[in-house]
Amino acid sequence: MNIGALHSILLVLSTVHAFQYNQLAQYIDEHQEDYVEALRDWVAVESDSSNVLRRSELHRMMEMVAQKLQQMGGSVESVDIGEQELPDKQRLALPKVVTAQFGTDPTKHTLCVYGHVDVQPAKLEDGWATDPFNLTEINGNLYGRGASDNKAPVLAWMHAVEAYQKLSLELPVNVKFVIEGMEETGSNGLEAMILAQKDSFFSDVDYIVVSDCGWLSRRPAITYGTRGNCYFLAEVRGPKQDLHSGVYGGTVIEPMIDLIGILDTLISPSGKILVPGIREAVAPLSDDEWRMYQDIEFDVDDYKNKIGVSKLMYNNKVDLLAHKWRYPTVSIHGIEGAFSDPGTKTVIPSKVCAKFSIRQVPNMDPAVVEKKVSEHLHSVFAKRHSPNTLTVSMVIGAKPWLADIQHPLYEAGKAAVKRVFSVDPDLIREGGTIPISRTFQDVTGKSIIMMPIGGFDDGLHSQNEKISRFDLSDFCFLSVVLFLQMLTQQLKKNTRGRSALDYFSESY
């Protein structure tokens, strides 16, 4: 084929593309209300994976996912991934993982969409302005727990496939789904499932896309790395039961005071991790990284104002982004077993369990972190000569993930973003943890791209989580376009011996 012929083909392709784009964009716009209603149904389910009392809701959520995919005509499976062991040794069924497949054309690339439909805890009294499980629209924003993390993005990918179907357009790629219900607590059981299906469900997957993240600013972004997370429980047990602080105070060594004493040795006021052997493992910041960070659209003052604090841990962009993305940190989330309600209870809690986590970055190893933290806490606890007992356990140990941004998948992603938003995306990392990115990479050896679906101010994990009504459409459209862009990449790479022209001449 000479250059002139190739040029003509690309021109045809471009015209066909443009036609498809318009059809799909119009369809998506017209169905925005349906997308809001679908999200409302999903948000209404309190699929909090961290609360065992909500497990039946989580099972129901997974069934709703399977039903939706079945209604779309997918080949759907609900995969039993076994049980989890609770701290009290009870065993509890994990929510099934739902897999689905649309299209089995061996000549097409296969894109696997990963998402999760479990959510963080939420209670009205935590400071939500609206019922967190009743999707509520205020000024174009749709408020509800899980709206942005991760129910709307999961729906966006499904609605993208549906748009092709309803318009009777052939999907440019085979699309697979892997939807889980334990992401917020460390994707318990999913890694084993991926390993088990490595040579079956995942054998023909070429690329994996994850939309469990957000933009950094008003500029669209593509994410190429995430931090991992080691989540710890440090429990101090003392008296048989809670005691009256008047009656017993002064005679017993209080577990709460022991616990506060050891928690105070984790991190300094200036953010330095004090656990020996943690900081030493961190990969140094390279000059390339430094330069890249300099160019990213990020306004330190905006960030500060958005959070509502007068001072951040670092006051320049590069340090701040580096500590958000590629350095570890300690967060202390809370204490279970102590008095946490309003009021003035005069209790000596008998058993208190602190929850804290250390974010993981290359080249940290969760197994080493677990050992170092446990050794450190037991060492400082021993110095207190307390009769109470300390138990340290790491209940989540998720590794960080980092992708090769030179991979053609990222070219497709960048082009898709540019097509939809008319601007080049920032290449960013994510401070949060999507454990499965790293697992996919390790187990399947395939490339993963993270396409953020959700605004930079969506309030993931906090009160008043929301997604914009308009994001629902934009991101559905982004999903649609990525399918097409992958076709273009396929044409360029021609890895399967079939050109995009063949595809278009058959289809249209």
x/- contact string, 176-195, with a second copy (CB under 8 A)? --------xxx---------
Has 288 been annotated as catalytic? Answer: no
Q: How far apart, in whole angstroms, are the C-alpha atoms of residue 122 and residue 464?
A: 9
Cα–chain center distance at 489: 26
Cβ 476 vs Cβ 159: under 8 Å: yes
| Binding status of residue 283 toward a second copy by CB under 8 A | no
x/- contact string, 423-442, with a second copy (CB under 8 A)? -------xxxx---------
Q: Is residue 372 helix, strand or coil?
A: helix
The only residue of 9, 77, 198, 248 in contact with a second copy, by rule CB under 8 A:
248
Find all residues with CB under 8 Å of 171, minimum gap 6, and list them. Answer: 102, 103, 108, 161, 164, 483
| Binding status of residue 32 toward a second copy by CB under 8 A | no
Q: In this structure, what token pair is assigned to residue 370?
A: 């677990």
| Binding status of residue 211 toward a second copy by CB under 8 A | no
DSSP state of 472: H
Token look-up 């679908």 returns 38
Has 118 been annotated as catalytic? Answer: yes
Q: How far apart, in whole angstroms, are the C-alpha atoms of residue 162 and residue 116?
A: 19
Q: Which of 48, 57, 118, 258 is catalytic?
A: 118
Phi, psi dihedral angles at 260 (to 5 degrees): -65, -40
Nearer CB in complex with a second copy: 251/406:
251
Instruction: Determine how many CB atoms are found less than 10 A away from the CB of residue 420.
Output: 19
Torsion sign across C-alpha atoms 189, 194, 195, 200: positive
Nearer CB in complex with a second copy: 181/328:
328
- The residue count for binding a second copy (CB under 8 A) is 103
Q: What is the largest CA-CA distance in the chain?
A: 93
Q: Which of residues 111-130 bind a second copy (CB under 8 A)?
A: 120-121, 126-127
The only residue of 73, 140, 249, 276 in contact with a second copy, by rule CB under 8 A:
249
Nearer CB in complex with a second copy: 352/412:
352
For the bound state, the minimum distance from the C-beta of residue 393 to a second copy, rounded and expressed in Å, comes to 11
| Binding status of residue 246 toward a second copy by CB under 8 A | yes
Q: Which of residues 288-347 bind a second copy (CB under 8 A)?
A: 303, 307-314, 320, 323-324, 327-347
Q: How far apart, in whole angstroms, are the C-alpha atoms of residue 483 and residue 500?
A: 12
Q: Which of 46, 162, 183, 235 is catalytic?
A: 183
Residue span binding a second copy (CB under 8 A) among the ranges 27-35, 46-54, 91-99, 487-495: 46-54
DSSP state of 201: T
Q: In this structure, what token pair is assigned to residue 199?
A: 């040579």
For the bound state, the minimum distance from the C-beta of residue 265 to a second copy, rounded and expressed in Å, comes to 9
Q: How far apart, in whole angstroms, are the C-alpha atoms of residue 96 and residue 178?
A: 11
Nearer CB in complex with a second copy: 1/53:
53
Nearer CB in complex with a second copy: 52/367:
52
Residue span binding a second copy (CB under 8 A) among the ranges 17-25, 57-65, 237-245, 418-426: 237-245
Reference 118, options 212, 224, 198; nearest CA is: 212
| Binding status of residue 413 toward a second copy by CB under 8 A | no
Give the 3-state DSSP-derived string for 19-77, with helices as H, strands as E and coil as C: HHHHHHHHHHHHCHHHHHHHHHHHHCCCCECCCHHHHHHHHHHHHHHHHHHHHCCCEEE
The only residue of 73, 82, 140, 271 in contact with a second copy, by rule CB under 8 A:
271
Q: Which of residues 347-406 bind a second copy (CB under 8 A)?
A: 347-350, 355, 357, 359, 383-388, 395-396
x/- contact string, 458-487, with a second copy (CB under 8 A)? -xxxxxx-----------------------
Nearer CB in complex with a second copy: 5/129:
129
| Angle, helix 500-507 to helix 469-493, in steps of 10 degrees | 120
Residues designated as active site: 118, 183
